[in-house]
Structure 1
């Protein structure tokens, strides 16, 4: 396994590690002393990772160190104008509209690349996944959870809204009505319920989480790379609202590309 060529100071400041092992990359939230709480520097580092993932990487795993995936935004940012050189929530509120919008958009970009259909992303989630932690897990295509997981969309209860891209995948995963209830109540969603409502692929004992994710990665990498990429693109198109006719047309075009590629001996 190798560490990808990203500024190590950027990763350190963001509380992340990033490692590449052939077709698999692993992003690890590495601030267990604060339950992997996130900061704007975390989102900056995530954005840099998204811009630097090697082309040969087919699966990205996002995981946390210690007993939580991520407890959400670092508490220091809720009441401060600025912390560690980055604006807090009150600091963002004081910015001109365009600058505030740009600031939030930059944070969203740290999450949105995880839904790019050019590769598959898996969140390995244990313990608390609160607020920004929940949204980071939602940014991934699949979620495999430990049996102690506690998902919570806490933002609305605190007077703000989920703004890191979490609303779209949450509604697509569990439906509008259930997403409303989860967001507005701010309640915890445990492992069994997460699997039952489609929020998680499966739940396993905490001690087996890494092994379960490793097995999933191996199974998902079994498909030929180009066929897998085309299939991900088709499924993403449907998820984003393609109607039946558009989906059929996309399938025809993708299949023709595959057949011609295979005929040319390109795999």
Structure 2
């Protein structure tokens, strides 16, 4: 992957901070005064981060500053045609089909790279994770949550749909029936239920969230990088619906690459 500089002004407009420390990158939603509400600039900045992270980054943590992970889309975008040069929902409604599709696809790209099997991604979630906030957490491979977490897929009850890539991982995490109920009811899912239904890996007291995520990242980075990347790719293929025969073939091919690499002293 080509490493490119990230425009600090874009990060600021998107309400994000980025810290890269060796094999770990931490993305922080940093608008605590509005519960880390997101805007199209947030998604543009997320996409830029995904395109520019160094190759040696093996783990990405996504977290929110303050008492919430993210309360979803900034409300001023719900009825506006345009806000600060970015389209609101009313503006998107007025676009031609192809232009509207391209616009929404660009928003989705800010989330979809988090499921690229070249690295493992972890959402550290506290407080509200609503709508776009829920979908951002779902974009990550793993979710570690505080005991005060409240997941909510609010879009359908507001007359729209989840369109930032959240439907696929939600169904895979909790199953079709639970996903239907969560989306159509718009109800809140707390920490205990999130762990019980597979939405979260574990729940911890709020004060212990950062430490739990740090420990989890350290354990995930313990595996040799190339073996970890191959294993992530195998698991991703199964999650995306590879049948048993294809999964077995993928394992054989990955193992052959690994043993040849080890035999050549490449690690």
TM range (shorter): over 0.9
Aligned to 2:89: 89
Indicate the residue corresponding to 1:10 in structure 2. Answer: 10
Could you tell me how far 1:152 is from its partner in structure 2?
0.1
Distance 1:252 1:19 in 2: 37
Where does residue 129 of structure 2 map in the other structure?
129
Q: 3-state SS of the aligned residue for 2:265?
A: coil
**SS of structure 1 residue aligned to 2:145:** strand
> For 1:17 and 1:6, how far apart are their aligned partners in 2?
11
Find the aligned partners of 2:73 and 2:250 in 1 and give their Cα distance. Answer: 39
TM-score, with normalisation over the residues of structure 1? 0.98
Q: SS where residue 144 of structure 1 aligns?
A: strand
Residue of structure 1 in register with 2:248 after alignment:
248
Q: Does residue 193 of the first structure (1) align with residue 193 of the second (2)?
A: yes
1:169-188 aligned at under 5 Å gives the runs 169-188=169-188
CA-to-aligned-CA distance 1:28-87 (integer Å, 9 cap, x gap): 000000000000000000000000010000000000000000000000000110001001
Correspondence for 1:209:
209
Secondary structure at the counterpart of residue 57 of structure 2: coil
Residue equivalent to 1:54: 54
Equivalent residue for 2:110?
110
Question: What SS does structure 1 have at the residue aligned with 2:20?
Answer: strand
**Count of equivalent residues:** 264
- Deviation of 1:5 after TM superposition, in Å, equals 3.3
Q: Distance in 1 between matches of 2:233 and 2:250?
A: 9
Quote the residue 1:99 is aligned against: 99
* Structure 1 counterpart of 2:45: 45
Normalising to structure 2: TM-score of the pair?
A: 0.98
